[in-house]
Amino acid sequence: MIPYTTFPDLGIDGLYTYGLMLSLGVVIGAFVGQRILHHRGYSNTGFYDYATWLVIAGLAGARLLWAVSHIDRVIADPLLVFRVWEGGLSFVGGVLAAAPGTGWRRV
């Protein structure tokens, strides 16, 4: 089982396994994507700006799908949509929101 908090014994409060793995995935994915473009001979100018917008779209979609799937809680407290630190991201929503952007523009 993956622990809820990543490093509780080190006194690091607020660092959670899901957030750590999500962050590592974004950083490693952007690095690998940039290297692939460079290896294939494409210009990678603006790649990190483009990747940043894909991450923003993915996070927005992940939160939106979570809000839709927990609509009863959101109706009771509409500001819950903005309190991401209280949990609630949907992996599928992130992929659905960011995927169309991957073919939108050639880098």
Residue type, 86: E
Q: Which of 46, 16, 14 is CA-nearest to residue 33?
A: 46
Domain assignment present for residue 3? The answer is no
Domain assignment present for residue 107? The answer is no
Residue type, 23: S
Domain assignment present for residue 2? The answer is no
Render each residue's pLDDT in the chain as its tens digit; 107 residues: 555 666 666 666 667 777 788 889 999 999 998 998 889 888 878 888 888 999 999 999 999 999 999 999 999 999 999 888 777 888 899 889 988 877 655 54
How many domains would you assign to the chain? 1
Structural domain that includes position 70: 8-102
pTM: 0.75
CA end-to-end distance (rounded Å), the chain: 39
